[in-house]
Amino acid sequence: MITEKIEKILNEQIEKEGYSSNLYLSMASWAETEGFAGISTWFYAQAGEELLHMMKFIHFINERGGHAIIPAFDQPPVNFDGIKKVFDQVLEHERFISGSINDIAALAIKENDFATQNWIQWFITEQVEEESSVQGIIDKLNLLGEENMYLFDRDIMSLRGTGE
Ligand code: OFO
Atom of ligand 1 nearest to the CA of 123: 4
Segment 51-67 mean pLDDT = 98
Segment 128-153 mean pLDDT = 88
Q: Over pLDDT 70: what percentage of the chain? A: 96
- DSSP-based helix, strand, coil % in the chain, nearest 5: 80, 0, 20
Predicted pLDDT at 121: 98
Distance CA(116)–CA(66), nearest Å, equals 13
Segment 131-158 mean pLDDT = 86
With a 6 A CB cut-off, is 113 part of the ligand 1 pocket? no
Segment 10-18 mean pLDDT = 98
Q: Ligand 1 centre from 15 Cα, in Å? A: 11
161: pLDDT strictly greater than 60: no
With a 6 A CB cut-off, is 20 part of the ligand 1 pocket? yes
Q: For ligand 1, atom 1, name the residue with the nearest CA.
A: 94
Exposure class string for 10-37: b at 16+ Cβ within 10 A, else e: bbebbbbbbbbbbbbbbbbbbbeebebe
22: pLDDT strictly greater than 50: yes
Nearest to 87 by CA among 163, 8, 140, 162: 140
Distance CA(74)–CA(76), nearest Å, equals 6
163: pLDDT strictly greater than 80: no
Segment 60-73 mean pLDDT = 98
Q: Ligand 1 centre from 127 Cα, in Å? A: 6
With a 6 A CB cut-off, is 130 part of the ligand 1 pocket? yes
Q: Over pLDDT 90: what percentage of the chain? A: 84
Q: Ligand 1 centre from 147 Cα, in Å? A: 31
Q: Going from the N-terminus, what domains does the chain have, and what CATH number goes with each?
A: 4-159 (1.20.1260.10)
Amino acid symbol at 160? R
Exposure class string for 52-62: b at 16+ Cβ within 10 A, else e: ebbebbbebbe
